[in-house]
Structure formats: C-alpha cells, structure tokens
Structure 1
Amino acid sequence: MLTRDIGTFLAFARDCAPDFGPATARAAFLVAPDGFGRAEESATDNLYMASAGFDATRASAQHRELQRALSAVVPTLCFPGDPHAPDALFPNNVFATAPGVLVVGRMRHPVRRREAERPDIRGFFRDVLGYAVRDLSTQPHPCELTGALVIDRARGLGFCGLSERCDEEGARLMHEALGLRATLVFDLAPGEYHTNVLLAVLAGRAALVCPAGFADPAVAAAVASLYAPHAIELSVEEQAAFAGNAISLSSDVVWMSERASKALCPGGRGALAAAGFELRAPALDAIEAAGGSLRCCVAEIF
C-alpha cells in the first residue's frame, strides 16, 4: 500500500504485527569525509548547511570517533571518501538495504550522483555479501532513500516526505524496491529537504517527531499516534539542533549528536528512558556544518 490518505494508512498500520523483520540493522557502514567541504549544489535546498567555517580535519576526527563509538554496538565499516564529492559522508541518501538486497538511489544533485556509481560499495554488497542490486540511480525521479524515507523495519512501514529530493514516483520506486507493506506519502514543510531530519523511528517502538517539519500537522499527529506512549514531540529549536536526526542500531541505545543531545529537553530525555533507551551522543559539530548529522552518516545493513 502506497497512500497519501492518513486514515487508510493508520487503519492498515495499526494491524501490522512487528514481524516484518529485525527492528534494527545487523551492521552499518559509513563513508569517510575525504574532501569534506561546502557542496554548493546541495546548499541550494539544504537550509541546515553552514555558509562557512568548514573544518575538514576536525570533521575527519569526529567521523572516526563516530565509527569507533558505533562499533561498540554493531559492526561498523567505513569506506574511503571521494575528494571530489564534498558531502559524500552521508551515504544513507544513496544506499539502503533490505535482507539480501542493496538499493541504489537517485540523487537530485549531480555532485552526489557520482556516489551511486562507486564500484567498491556496489561490489562489496554484490560480490562479498551476495546481495541483489536494485538500481534506481539511472531513472529520472529523485529518491534519496532513507533521507526521504523513514522506515519502521519491524512492521514494514514507510514514512516518505516529498520535496525536491523525492517526488511521488520516487516514493513508489523506493517502496517497491524495499518491499514495504505500506508507505504514507506526505509533503514536507517549505524549506525542509529530508524526512530523517524531522522524524526518527527507534527500534520499531518509539518515535521522535518534529511537527513543524510537516506541511500538514495531521500527518505528524498520525505518526505520533502509532508510537504512543513513546512518541516524543520535538520543538523547532530541538529540530534545528538535529535532535530528530537520530537512530537506533540496537534495542537499547539511541544515537544522536552531542549538539542534538544538549538541545533535547528534560522531558524528551525522560521519554527516551521510559521507552527503554540509553542516549549516546558523540560530538559531530564539524560534520553538521555540511547540513546533516548522525543519522545521515549511517547506512544500515539488514
């Protein structure tokens, strides 16, 4: 099911048992920030990107510490970056997986399309892991994978926000390629570029929701209703600090950046604890200058 109808989606989703697959990934991979800097094409529709002050050395050190931290919870690989792709450290926009399948997305901006052509990442999944490759990168519709599409892996549900980074046909292609049971399609608020900056589904049992990022507040309320009592509403200030750009790679830990964690109000911290999560928050301020945060850096391997 792929629909814009909130009522139809909720009626179906509420009956979905958490038996679609593992709620969290079995491994993850990163791409190093080699050549890190301001990507002018990406900046045209990413209002979170800084205008100056990019520190490649600090970004590289923070990225290495992120890999070290995540590796304590789940095996975490890191591929080298591309000096000619300044924001290639956000591979979750380009690559996504379902069990036995690698999906390659279509990026809006040419500066990022070259990432989809990487033979090493494709070869790792195809030749080492034996995954089938579903390549969406050569068709014309933007579909920036788990940037645009937030997934409840336990129940096979997708939440796809439309913007210049993903159109309706792109949403359909991702829904089918990942084999989801149902996907709710909706518009992001003007100026928002990716759903994963304003929504995180955590281990299939909790959600961080930034209502201001949705064009229609009813969509945010509907998503929150699915995860009550563990739906945590974030303020505009928390969203701006990337508190919505979080991920769970295990059943008991939520990851977000240090900046996001500091912005999170006591109520939000308490709600995460009540849902059974420990919060871990490495420093990523240098990386966040590029307009993404911790979730954007992590490509999950299912």
Structure 2
Amino acid sequence: MITRDCVAFLEHARGLAPDFGPATARAAFLLAPDGFTLAEQSAADNRYMADAAGFDAARASAQHRGLQRALSRVLPTICFAGDPNTPDALFPNNVFATVAGRYVVGRMRHAVRQREATRADIRGFFGGVLDYAEIDLSTQPHPCELTGAMVVDRARGLGLCGLSERCDEAGARLVHEALGLRATLLFELAPGEYHTNVVLAVLAGRAALICPRGFADSAVVDAIAALYAPHAVLLSPAEHGAFAGNAIALSEDLVWMSAGAEQALTPASRHALAVAGFRVGAVELDAIEAGGGSLRCCVGEIF
C-alpha cells in the first residue's frame, strides 16, 4: 500500500505484526566531515544551515569522532573517510540505506550531493564485503533522499514519507519498493521543511517523536500519533528547533540525540520517553548542526 489517505493507512498499519525485521540496526556507519563547509546548493532549500561563518571544521571533526565513540558502545560503528569535494556528505543516510541482504543508493536533489552516490569504497563495502545486492536509484530522474525523506518503522515495514523537493511521489514509490515496505503514507511537509527525519523519529518500532509544525496537514500528525499511542511524543516548537525530532534508537532502550536537543526536552517529553522505556543518550554536535542536520542525519543504519 502507498497512499495519502491517513485513515486507510492507519487502519492497515494497525493490523500489521511487528515481524518485518529487527526494530533496530545491527551496525551503523558514518562519513567523516572532511572539508566540512557551507554547500551553497544544499543551503538553497535547508533553512537549518548556518551561513559560511558558522562552520568550524575542526570542531565538527572532533564532535563527529565523539559521536562514533558514543555509538560504538552500543553497536559496531564504522566511519568512512570524507571528501572535501562533497562538503556536506557527513549525512550518509540520505544516500545509502539497507534492508536485509541488499543496499539502496538514493538519488539526491543537488549535484554537490549526487557525487556521494558514486563512492566506490562505500559501494564496495556493501556489495563486496557484506555481499548485499545493489538497488541503484541514483541515475533515475526522481529525487529520493532515502531515510532523510522517509522515516521507516523497521519492525512493521512501514514508511512515513514527507514530500518535498528532496523526494517526489515517484521517488517515494521507488524507495518503498526498494526497501520492500508493506505500507507507506505520503504527505506534504510544512513549507520550509526539507526532510522528514528532522520532524519525525520512530523509535524501535514502538514510540514516535513528532514535531507537529513540520507537517502541512494536522491530520497526518493525528494519524501518526494514533499509530504510536500511547508512546507518541508531540514536541514543542523549541524542541523542534533544537533538532529533538532528529533522533534515533539503535537499541531497544536508548534514544540518541544531540546535546542541544536533549537540553531542549521538556519534563513532559522526558517523562514520555521514560514511560516508553527509553533513556536518552546525548552527544555534543553543535558544530555539525551548522550543516543543517543533527545526530540522526549522521547515522547510516546497517540491517
């Protein structure tokens, strides 16, 4: 099922068992922020990016290493070298995604990011080392920025895809098919939003962090909240602005977000996460957030 009908999606999704696959990844991969600087093309439709003076490459590199150390305490976490010719490639989840036995290469909107899809080392790792089959969407015309645009409930095989210039409806269908999902809900993001994973996180298939102002239609917010009730956490505008929605669970009991996001959490949000069975792990990432993304954007998942 691929639909814009919230009611039909909710009815179908509620009937699906959490047996699509593991709810969390078995490993993670990062891409180092070598040459980290303002990418003018990406800044054209990413209001979260700082201006050129706001980029501190050395601090971003140190924080990125801290992120790898932190995540490595939970699951194997590898880091590929960066490339100064792709200055905002430290967000690899938009370009590469995995499902059991195969990997998908996305089609980025901007030329500066399309270069990332040609990385022979990353393709060689998935195809040669892990022996995953390849599904290459990078040369077709429809933008589909993978798990930036589509938040995936891995337990039930559900996609939640916000449409924007970074992913059109045809691109969403391609990702849905490549990941073999059971059902995907399509919806419009609010004006000024570029990726769904900045305004929504599904945590280990049993909870969701939702930024209501990131959605064009409140009915979509209501449907997602109903699907993950009683563990749907509606975040405030301040939490949204601090990237609290750009979070990820890499184990059953721990949700990761940036230190700035964690500090912005309200007592109500903290309590809701605790009730859902999650502790919060936080990593300082303010320099990386100058690039318009936060912790979840940095993490590629290996299933």
The answer, yes or no, to whether TM exceeds 0.5 is yes
Q: CA deviation at 1:210?
A: 0.5
Q: Structure 1: how far apart are the matches of 2:270 and 2:67?
A: 21
Please tell me the residue identity of whatever aligns with 2:17: A
SS of 2:78 mapped into structure 1: strand
Aligned residues with identical type, % of pairs: 75
SS of 1:296 mapped into structure 2: helix
Structure 1 residues 135-185: Cα deviation after superposition (integer angstroms, max 9, x where no partner): 000000000000000000000000000000000000000000000000000
Structure 1 residues 112-140: Cα deviation after superposition (integer angstroms, max 9, x where no partner): 00000000000001011000000000000
Q: Structure 2: how far apart are the matches of 1:100 and 1:58?
A: 36
Q: Structure 2: how far apart are the matches of 1:164 and 1:236?
A: 23
Name 2:279's counterpart in structure 1: 278
1:8 aligns with 2:2: no
SS of 1:185 mapped into structure 2: strand
SS of 2:193 mapped into structure 1: coil
Please tell me the residue identity of whatever aligns with 2:39: A
Name 2:255's counterpart in structure 1: 254
Name 2:46's counterpart in structure 1: 46
Name 2:74's counterpart in structure 1: 73
Name 1:84's counterpart in structure 2: 85
Q: CA deviation at 1:7?
A: 1.0
Q: CA deviation at 1:203?
A: 0.3
Q: Structure 2: how far apart are the matches of 1:6 and 1:227?
A: 14
SS of 1:103 mapped into structure 2: strand
Q: CA deviation at 1:288?
A: 0.2
Q: CA deviation at 1:236?
A: 1.2
1:301 aligns with 2:284: no
Q: Structure 2: how far apart are the matches of 1:295 and 1:55?
A: 20
SS of 1:77 mapped into structure 2: strand
1:110 aligns with 2:111: yes
Q: CA deviation at 1:53?
A: 1.6
Q: Structure 1: how far apart are the matches of 2:37 and 2:202?
A: 29
Name 1:93's counterpart in structure 2: 94
1:125 aligns with 2:126: yes
SS of 1:248 mapped into structure 2: strand
Gap regions ≥5 residues in structure 1 = none
Aligned structure 1 segments of 4 or more residues deviating by more than 3 angstroms: none
Query: Aligned-pair RMSD on alpha carbons?
Result: 0.5
Point out the more displaced range, 130-139 or 51-60: 51-60
Q: Structure 1: how far apart are the matches of 2:70 and 2:81?
A: 18
Please tell me the residue identity of whatever aligns with 2:66: E
SS of 1:159 mapped into structure 2: strand
Structure 1 residues 185-235: Cα deviation after superposition (integer angstroms, max 9, x where no partner): 000001100000000000000000011000001101100111111000001
SS of 1:63 mapped into structure 2: helix
Q: How does 1:87-236 map to 2 (within 5 A)?
A: 87-236=88-237
Q: Structure 2: how far apart are the matches of 1:298 and 1:224?
A: 24
Q: Structure 2: how far apart are the matches of 1:249 and 1:191?
A: 28
Q: Structure 1: how far apart are the matches of 2:267 and 2:37?
A: 34
Q: Structure 1: how far apart are the matches of 2:50 and 2:177?
A: 35
Q: Structure 2: how far apart are the matches of 1:38 and 1:220?
A: 32
Please tell me the residue identity of whatever aligns with 1:132: A
Name 2:246's counterpart in structure 1: 245
SS of 2:249 mapped into structure 1: coil
SS of 2:63 mapped into structure 1: helix
SS of 1:111 mapped into structure 2: helix
Q: Structure 1: how far apart are the matches of 2:155 and 2:190?
A: 27
Q: Structure 1: how far apart are the matches of 2:184 and 2:136?
A: 20
Q: Structure 1: how far apart are the matches of 2:127 and 2:85?
A: 25
1:269 aligns with 2:270: yes
Q: Structure 2: how far apart are the matches of 1:168 and 1:150?
A: 15
1:288 aligns with 2:289: yes
Please tell me the residue identity of whatever aligns with 2:302: I
SS of 1:12 mapped into structure 2: helix
SS of 2:138 mapped into structure 1: coil
Please tell me the residue identity of whatever aligns with 1:90: F
